[in-house]
Amino acid sequence: MNEQEQKAFEDEIYAFVGKVVYPTTPAPDDINETMIRQWSEILGETNPAYLDADWAANSSRGHTISPPAMMYVWGQEGFQVTKGRAPNAMSTLVETFNRHGFTGVLGTNVKQDYMKESCIGDNISVHMVIDNISERKTTARGTGYFFETLSTFTDQHDDVVGTQRFKVLKFIPQEQPAAASDTDALAVPTRIPSPRGHDNKWWWDACDEGKVLIQRCKSCHTLRHPPRPMCGECQSMEWDSIESTLDGEVMSYTCLRHPVIPGYPKDPICAVIKLAEGTHFVANLVGCEYEDLRIGMKVKGKVEQVDEKTMLPQFYPV
Amino acid sequence: MSEYKTLTAADVSVGDKLQSTDIDISTGLVVCGALATRDFEPVHHSKAEAQAVGLPDVFMNILTSQGLMTRFATDWSGPEATVNSIDLKLGAPNIPGMVMAMTGEVTAVNGDTVDINILGENNIWGMHMQGTVQLTLPKEL
Amino acid sequence: MVANIKDKTVIVGAYNTKFSKSSGVSELSLAAQAVKGAIDDAGLKPEDIDGMATFTMDTNDEIEVARAVGCGELTFWGRSHYGGGAATGSLHQAVMAVSTGMAECVAVFRALNGRSGHRFSDGVSGAITTADAIHWGWYMPYGLLTPASWVAMFTQRWMHNTGVTRDALFEVAHATREYAVKNPNAFFHERHFDREEYDNARMIADPLQLFDCCQESDGASCVIVTTPERARDLRHPGVSVRGVSQAAAPDQEQMTSFYREEFAGIPEMETAARNCYQMSDLTADDIDAAVIYDAFSPIVLWQMEAWNFCGHGESGDFVLDGAMRPGGRLPCNTHGGQLSEAYIHGVNGIVEATRLVRGTSLNQPSKDVNHALVTSGVGIPTGGAILGKMN
């Protein structure tokens, strides 16, 4: 897009500022107990100000109120949106962006201000305009424009009960690197696997089969972990392995609170475990609270599938 | 009455931490949350549609996130508090199987009005939402 | 056999760049600034530098630094491996080069955008293609991914074995912070903290909380090592290297030596200390002040034991008696340490130890500092050096 084309394009999009997306439209349902109760049930909301008429009657308000965060819910279009929405100023604006290559879309901010609490029987109307469109910005996602809609919610007394500002970035998506295939984009991150080389592949392959092996020197029978090519005791390079019973004792442990690492459970506990066979081993402790852990406690391990791609020894308190 | 305590401004100082909580993001919560907020956009209930926009599975809609955010604030304050505003920056999607940790801290107290900075962070992609809920707390009860 | 290096080499220049969270410049630029600053401090000229020593982890090629600074011929370069374990390791390289005549003036530097570039707390995740990968593979799948988590594993067991409590960890962090408060180049300049703030800081990896961990920083540090003959003509009183040692111990892993029968200890540092004392003909009693590598608070305590300032398990009481403080037995990390000044992989520690012996630390102890100890990172092959006034 050259300078002239950009100017023409910007004239076209800035003309949308002030355009009405939804004229004042009353909600199909008045505020009602059933929808509030269902919303609360699903979101785990137990606030008696929304749910308990007896409690509310004695509260400072004297009655229940509608959850403020439901303000936008009442005026939502129904199931017909699955078949597409009727064109309006916003969809036309979005279409204009798309036509010029700004096909990326990202909701970045949403702000609701509540001016008046609503209660059962009220009817909420919504009125939405395109409030502003930014100048051209360079963002981490790509070059684009932010546009913001302003919704104003009124009740049957024409009192403003609240407003919502919703900011959206329309941008030109950056070229995906050729290596990033579609399947990568869909993958939920999994634990970082160990690379597998000459000295450790056999161990991880056995782990995939549900076994924890311990390398053993064929000459002097010394066990060693992590595996390495030569025996530190007799320098023999001949080795085999035994399978661990995964009986063990905690020698030390820590819980990784920060940073949160994609693909891992929150706050994973890691421990150094002395196996019954005598070698030390690092693995996760699970099925217990951090506060209950002690150095010296007995644990028992088993190899478990911990995510879509990973088999890993996990130890439980005995 | 007494089973629901509501904080007053005198109980609150800048730097107070809210009791953190973990929310399991199940398919049920995503799909039913969309239903409860009458958000029938297919990306919130159809895995195929969600994958068509590049995500691995259905993802939580904004109205559900807003509801969880205000719930987190009023669970702390008690039911006599009035919610004045909720100002959210949106981050990574919440997808079934993730766990979202919610943490919060009081960042301002002006008279009876308190600002709480709240972070909802999922264990896979990090920040899902971050922002400020402003409450007005009741005068001495 | 004891290495024959005593007093054959002298530190004559020392310099730190500005430390920051975002330097806004390349690591090469930081390296060049640090090397040039140390050359100026020494009263040398760029063309006098004929050797360079740094970390294998440093991204700056010696020849690039030399071109940037305008050095002439290089007749020596050497690198030392293992992260912060290379702090005095690179000094070790320089000392060997100068004492054998391989080079006359060696710049020992470390430059990193440790905050705005690669952050150590990101752990060992990501594209790792080195031979180390197999080693880290024993820990990555479990989430044992960060330096804090590896050190936490040692700390938990060491506290269990010795009964040392968080009081001692706090004392390390607090004594160091109080020094940083007076250092304008420190991240925590003029920022005191107290036990409540320390206890309330976020948990990183139990039992290590935020203020038990160092600052990730952008910046660079450099010292210049040369011969005594050359040093006599230069600007500052020379700071001799009395001893410098590198050591790895049996069953050594990088940060994860969990396979020793008892792993709550740092035998590699005990070896380094023994050799360094032998080389210098000194003992712990001769050390007046120290810069002890402090990527995390507990590792300072272990090193006090390894360098024989107190017995095994007694370091908690040692610091709680005020040993690290200005009037204490061993004023320690007087620049604010890596906990509170900046994390430049311990080379800012060599700069500070040099200043302590010169008598120019911002927190110079009132007593005479004839000998200062400076050490490298812990949990890895490591080392230390004893600096003293040039005779």
Considering only the beta carbons, identify the residue of C125, C258, C259 that sits closest to A192.
C125
pLDDT at site A209: 96
> Which has the closest alpha carbon to B18: B94, B64, B69, B89?
B69
Residue A235's pLDDT is: 87
Average pLDDT over residues C278-284: 96
Could you tell me which residues come within 8 angstroms of residue C196 by beta carbon, excluding any fewer than 6 positions away? Answer: none
Q: Would residue C314 count as lying in a domain?
A: yes
Residue-wise over A171-208: b if at least 16 C-beta within 10 A, else e? bbeeeeeeeeeeeeeeebbbbbebbeeeebeebbebbe
Burial class of A34 by CB neighbour count within 10 A (0 to 12, 13 to 18, 19+): exposed
Mean pLDDT of all residues in A279-298: 96
Q: Which stretches of chain A sit within 8 Å of chain C by CB? A: 191-197, 199-200, 204, 225-226, 251-259, 261, 264-265, 268, 270, 272, 279-280, 282-284, 290, 295, 310, 312
CB-nearest to A109 from B40, B42, B90 is: B90
- pLDDT, tens digit (0-9, with 9 covering 90-100), for C358-388: 999 999 999 999 999 999 999 998 999 999 9
The answer to whether residues A293 and A253 touch, using CB atoms and an 8 Å cutoff, is yes
Question: Where does the pLDDT of residue A184 fall: very low under 50, low under 70, confident under 90, or very high at 90 and above?
Answer: very low
d(CA B25, CA B97): 6
Distance CA A249, CA C388 (A): 47
- pLDDT tens-place string over residues C290-328: 999 999 999 999 999 999 999 999 999 999 999 999 999
Contact assignment for A252 to C142 by CB distance below 8 Å:
no
Give pLDDT tens digits for B75-105. 999 999 999 999 999 999 999 988 999 999 9
Which of B119, B116, B87 is CA-nearest to residue B100? B119
Q: What is the pLDDT of residue C3?
A: 85
> Quick one: what percent of chain A has pLDDT higher than 90?
75
Structural domain for C114, as ranges: 10-118+218-389
In a domain, C158, yes or no: no
Structural domain contains residue C148:
no
Domain count, chain C: 1
Choose the closest CB to A42 out of B32, B56, B97: B32
Q: Which residues in C lie closer than 8 A to residue A252 (C-beta atoms)?
A: 153-154, 156-157, 160, 258, 263-264
Domains in chain A, start-ordered, CATH in brackets? 3-31+66-171 (3.10.129.10), 201-317 (2.40.50.840)
Hey, are the CB atoms on B126 and A262 less than 8 Å from each other?
yes
Residues 91-150 of chain A whose Cβ lies under 8 A from any Cβ of chain B: 106-114, 117
Nearest to B88 among A111, A114, A186 (CB): A111
Pairwise CB contact (< 8 Å): B64 & A43: yes
CA dihedral C365, C367, C372, C377 (to 10 degrees): -40
Within-domain flag for C156: no
Written as one string, the DSSP assignment of A177-219 is PTT--HHHHHPPP-PPPPP--TTTHHHHHHHHTT--EEEEETT
Q: Is the pLDDT of residue A177 over 50?
A: no
| Phi and psi torsions of B70, nearest 5° | -70, -35
Say what the pLDDT of residue A232 is.
Answer: 83
Residue numbers of C annotated as active site = 293, 343
Per the CB < 8 Å rule, is B80 touching A109? no
Q: pLDDT band at residue A182, thresholds of 50, 70 and 90? A: very low
> Which among A199, A265, A270 has the least Cβ separation from residue C149?
A270
Asked if B131 contacts B117 with a C-beta cutoff of 8 angstroms, the reply is yes
Q: How far is A283 from chain C (nearest CA, A)?
A: 6
Query: Per DSSP, which regions of C5-118 are E strands?
Result: 10-16, 51-55, 76-80, 106-113
What's the CATH code of the domain at C289? 3.40.47.10
Query: What whole-number distance in Å separates Cα of residue C48 and Cα of residue C71?
Result: 7
Residue C191 resides in a domain: no
pLDDT for C122: 67
Classify domain B9-26+62-136 by CATH number: 3.10.129.10
Q: Is residue C197 part of a domain?
A: no
Residue C194 lies in a domain: no
Q: Pairing relation of β-strands A160-171 and A104-114?
A: antiparallel
C227-233: average pLDDT: 95
What is the mean pLDDT of the segment spanning A127-135? 96
Q: C135 vs A226: CB contact, 8 Å cut-off?
A: yes
Find, in chain B, the residue whose alpha carbon is nearest to that of A63: B80
- Percent of chain B clearing pLDDT 90 (strictly above): 80
Chain A contact set for B70 (CB, 8 A): 67-69
Nearest C-alpha of chain B: how many angstroms from A286? 16
The pTM assigned to this predicted structure is 0.68
Closest CA to B82 of B92, B91, B73: B73
Residue listed under structure tokens 């690092």: A282
First CA to last CA distance, chain B: 12
Q: Å from A228 to nearest chain B CA?
A: 33
A-chain residue closest to B94, CA distance: A188
